Structure 1
Amino acid sequence: MNTETIPFLFRKSAEAHADKPAVVTPQKSVTYAELNQMSDAIAANLIERGTQPGDHVGLYGINSAEFIAIYFGIQKAGATVVPINLLLNPEEVAWILNDAGVKTLFYFEPFTPAVESIREKLPTIGTFIGVEQELPQMLRTPIPGLELPISSDSVAVIIYTSGTTGHPKGAMLTHRNLCFDALSAGNALKLRPDGDRFLVVLPMFHAFASLAGVLIPLLHGSSLVPLPKFDPTLTAETIDATNATIFLGVPSMYNLLLRLPEKHTAHIQKLRFAVSGGAAMPVEIMKQFEERFGVFIIEGDGPTECAPVTCFNPVDGLRKPQSVGLPIPGVEMKIMDEHGKELPLNEPGEICVRGPNVMKGYWKQPEETAESFFGEWFRTGDIGTEDEDGYFYIVDRIKDMVIVNGMNVYPRVVEEVLYKHEAVREAAVIGEPSKLHGEVPVAYISLKDGFQCSEKEIRAFCLEHLGRHEVPKKVHLVGDLPKNAAGKIVKRELRKQGEIERGIETNEH
């Protein structure tokens, strides 16, 4: 039996912690032994229905013990999980299922209408499994002794990353990629197997949640609390009810938790620490959160293609604000120029990663795969720097950089300034084409409740802290900024909005 596979490591964890809770909700707990049995029954049932090693099985569902049991069950059957982004419209879901050649689809009740609307357009799917109806029967199936020989190089999961243009790409992550990343990142987090409980509100179809929220706790003997969607009040009450010790979130979630009434402060204070990833954490939000709740935030980073954790600030060492920290053990990171040449310390370039966590490639996209590497080094698409202590900083996404009169403007730098303004709740900066300047920065801002502010005031504030070319040429005050299912601000929606306003024409600036 290959020891670098998810089924092997999960079984080992389940044997060591059989009677301990693996998945906890305010209503019930599922022990490691029960979760192991559930996933064995699902695997046996899939094999009985004709699932072959290497087949692709879709999983369209919400955070729950059932989602995790199905995820492990698919892998125990030697098949590959294809998780579906819950925010996609049915046509986009159909595209992914067809692109991946999915043969069996598990779907939860809320997504029945979506599945029914595209069923005719899914020729590769022979088996549709409605979870609420069919899972109870599957779990009653007698389980034969089931330990398939699974290669650590076989693909455990294909996660489709939202493309900025065109269709998303399916990142193929092997068992070795995920096992290495879960063990290395979990050890670096210095988990207490008997005491740590992860609150997982990030959607489990997402790489951050499935690795940091499911595999890390369950391969280390900790437990997790799944929440199907993010609601600040429910999050605080669930931390209190389940004694969660670690919260995983993206920056916009921390911003919303700061708006909780005072009565919830003690609930959040129960956490041992919190982890932030998925987008750059504005220093001002981190500072306010830590001051109010006394809970420190460990900021880290990594793209889906790296399984996904590449680095984070040490739990018990020096945390540097604005830094995504040090590479996790066994992972190397470098700053390179556009030709793949390493750059000196503190000089901005592309963050590149090498290690056992780097994906096998993009499904059916050999050219895209080749373009994403300098030899063994995966190109993350992030502009960053490395300091003298080996800490990495993300300056921005390469595609988000705005070039004004030939000068680089990094939206993140402008956003950090905007967050310092007392009236600003959320901010995002994008580039807009300009006949005179090539591009100009444009800011989209939502204000805190009870605050008022004009575009003129915002621009004057920026002028005090930024170079003239960095000051947003326009400021749009909006109710809320568009976000994806993981709560990350989606800049491409703002760009689309800008194009509609301009009638897809470039205004003179």
Structure 2
Amino acid sequence: MKGSVAYRSIQKRGLHIGLLPEMAAAVNPSTPITLDHDLDVLPEAGRHLTVAQYAEYVDDLAARLWAAGVRPDERVVLFKTANADHWMLAAAVSRIGGVVVNLSPALDAETVAVLLERLDQPTLLTDGTKLDLLADVPLAGLTRRVITSADHRPGSVSLTELAGSPRVKPVVRPIDEAAVITHTSGTTGIPKLVVHTARTQGIRLLPQWRLLSLMRKKETVAINVPFVHSRMVAAMSLALLKEYPVLLMRETGPAEVAEQFIKHRPAFIEALPNSFMEWEELADDPRSPFGSVKVFSSTFDAIHPGTMSRLLKASDRRGALFFQIYGQSEVGPAVGRAYFRNSAHKANGRCVGWAMPNGAARIRVVSRDGHTPSETNPGYIEVAWDGIAKTYLGEQDRYDTNRSGEWWRTGDVGYRTRFGCLHMLDREVDMIPGVRSSLEIEDVVLSKLSELTELVVVPGPNSEALPVICTVDDKPLDRNRWRAAVVEFPQLTEPVQIPQAELPRTATLKVQRLALARRFEEQLREPV
């Protein structure tokens, strides 16, 4: 089977992640998968696998899950310590017809308890570390059973003890039924559970299949995104079907990342915007960890032009580009654009791209006040295509509120230029009176002050525009340099500096702006 044949099959029958490893092995069984850590559930597997071995391990884990009592149509929550085995276990659940529910290991016990209740007696697949975290959660009443991926705990079934279980035939779920459930970032409270089907997952591969086609040689693809995110489904599917060697990473620290990039020399890197920001310092590493990179790719959130420029200049590849995709869990990739070495630093960071051709998502901007959306009067950004998620589990009314026929309201505001470029200015809930775009201010100021590692403009206690800053090594900010950098933004108040470790973040490292704003509002209310 060729990769293109497998891809066409997915477009017709949907993406079933339980079948993907087997399909990829049929395309090329020797495609290598390298890890930067050991697998918790299969420590004997080592860090160097072929796709054929990977598929065999998934089949083995599926047999163990069946022996543990998991059956088709059952929801299986994966809440465990970050590890590449998460994706293998998800594929194994899918392989026997279960519905995968991916929960971020960054969630707290209270949030997990709420989501377990919403899922109505799921199986919980976890590990000892997370069971300790959930010690005060009444799991016996909230779950059907508890399975541990490695160590055994009282009241649970251990997959380790089920090694050698008889293999079972794959069970393929209907193309429009729930296949994988992920959750939103939770920037505004309890995360929503987003239901993806085999059809919606398959459709989302379309624009990214073309992006990977830019790589003519079978060079290494480095993937460093949360294993629980819907983006991981697309990233792994595309890389394996295209027969690219995969470097699957968990570590995000610059020192560890540099070692992996120097050793494996990836041509394509998929990572979070905030990870790329953290790795900027590696651009000055004399070992050139980014020297081999042809394509940098990021979704999740807009990325600052200065970061893209610095990374591109650290590549030794002719025609290196940074491809940014704008989208969200509910809609997948919506628009995209490429940035190049000699122009990225001059780019408008609010221009997140153009609609992608041939069957990809359509975009429109709808008026908020009856007037035509524009740069000074942004409208609601909406997306339409067959890749939109099916529903929010247990919150259909909330889903319906965001959907009007085929159009999905993203919650972002912006406008389109006469050339069709979509400019995303802010999340609707983050808008500040008198500020055109908080994100634009952050782009401009960060490009001027290299000592800043983060800048977040949030509503202050009196709805003023409050800049919260973090610096390299948490050093005090030179206020004169600050005032010179923000002279064109008189609406900003004096900045508040906090340690970077104190920034509240989501599982994909987005700053939780509402939580940050509440922090300063509560401080104002505290008695002196």
Asked if TM exceeds 0.5, the reply is yes
Q: 1:472 aligns with which of 489, 492, 504?
A: 492
Deviations 1:275-295 (A, max 9, x none): 122222122222222234455
Q: Which residue of 2 aligns with 1:301?
A: 326
1:264–1:302 CA distance, 2 compared to 1 (3 A): farther
Q: Does 1:447 align with 2:466?
A: no
Q: More displaced, 192-201 or 227-236?
A: 192-201
CA gap 1:440/1:136 in 2 versus in 1, 3 angstroms? same
Q: Which amino acid aligns with 2:496?
A: H
Q: How does 1:140-159 map to 2 (within 5 A)?
A: 140-144=164-168, 146-159=169-182
AA aligned opposite 1:276: S
Which secondary structure does the structure 2 equivalent of 1:426 belong to? Answer: strand
Report if aligned partners of 1:346, 1:387 keep a CA contact under 8 Å in 2: no
Instruction: Return the offset for 1:394.
Output: 1.4
Q: Find the counterpart in structure 2 of residue 326 from structure 1.
A: 354
Give the match for residue 433 of structure 2: 403
CA shift digits 1:223-255 (9 cap, x unpaired): 432222311110111112233222222332222
Task: Find out whether 1:171 has 2:187 as its counterpart.
Answer: no
Aligned residue in 2 for 1:31: 50
How far apart, CA to CA, are the structure 1 residues paired with 2:390 and 2:511? 28
Equivalence for 1:431? 459
1:284 alignment partner AA: G
Which runs of 5 or more structure 2 residues have no equivalent in the other structure? 1-8, 38-45, 152-157
CA-CA distance at 1:487 after TM superposition:
2.3
Per the alignment, residue 211 of structure 1 pairs with 233
Higher mean alpha-carbon deviation, 335-344 vs 365-374, is at 335-344
Q: Are the equivalent residues in 2 in contact too, given 1:192–1:222 (CA < 8 A)?
A: no
Partner of 1:20: 31
- The answer (yes or no) to whether the contact 2:366–2:382 under 8 Å persists in 1 is yes
Structure 2 residue corresponding to 1:3, chosen from 13, 28, 41: 13
Is it true that 1:495 corresponds to 2:517 in the alignment?
Answer: yes
Per-residue CA deviation, residues 177-213 of structure 1 (Å, 9 max, x unaligned), is 11111243222332648624332332111233x2343
* Structural mapping, 1:103-182, within 5 Å: 103-118=122-137, 120-133=138-151, 134-144=158-168, 146-182=169-205
Counterpart amino acid of residue 441 in structure 1: A
* Paired residue secondary structure (1:326): strand
**Given the superposition, is the C-alpha separation of residues 221 and 371 from structure 1 closer, same or farther in structure 2, using an over 3 Å criterion?**
same
Cα shift readout 1:393-440 (whole Å, capped 9, x = no counterpart): 211111111013xxx431112112221333323101011243xxxx31
Distance (Å, rounded) in 2 between the aligned partners of 1:50 and 1:199: 35
Q: Give the gaps of 5 or more residues in structure 1.
A: none
**Count of paired positions:** 491
Give TM-score, length-normalised by structure 1.
Answer: 0.87
8 Å CA contact 2:220, 2:244 repeated in 1: yes
Aligned residue runs from structure 1 range 54-65, under 5 A? 54-65=73-84
Give the TM-score taking structure 2 as reference length: 0.84
How many Å separate the matches in 1 of 2:370 and 2:74? 36
Identity of aligned residues (%): 20
Q: 2: CA distance between counterparts of 1:250 and 1:340? A: 36
**In structure 2, the residue corresponding to 1:258 is in which secondary structure?**
helix
> Aligned-residue CA RMSD in angstroms?
3.1
State which of 299, 305, 317 in structure 2 corresponds to 1:277: 299
- Tell me the amino acid that sits aligned with residue 510 of structure 2: K
- How many angstroms apart in 2 are the aligned matches of 1:333 and 1:245? 31
Q: Tell me how far apart the structure 1 counterparts of residues 54 and 369 of structure 2 sit (CA, whole Å).
A: 48
SS of the equivalent of 2:281 reads coil
SS of the residue aligned with 1:302? strand
8 Å CA contact retained: 1:17, 1:32: yes
Secondary structure of residue in 2 paired with 1:157: strand
| Aligned twin of 1:393 | 423
Misfit runs of 4+, over 6 Å: 315-319, 339-342, 344-347
Deviation at 1:125, TM superposition (A): 1.9
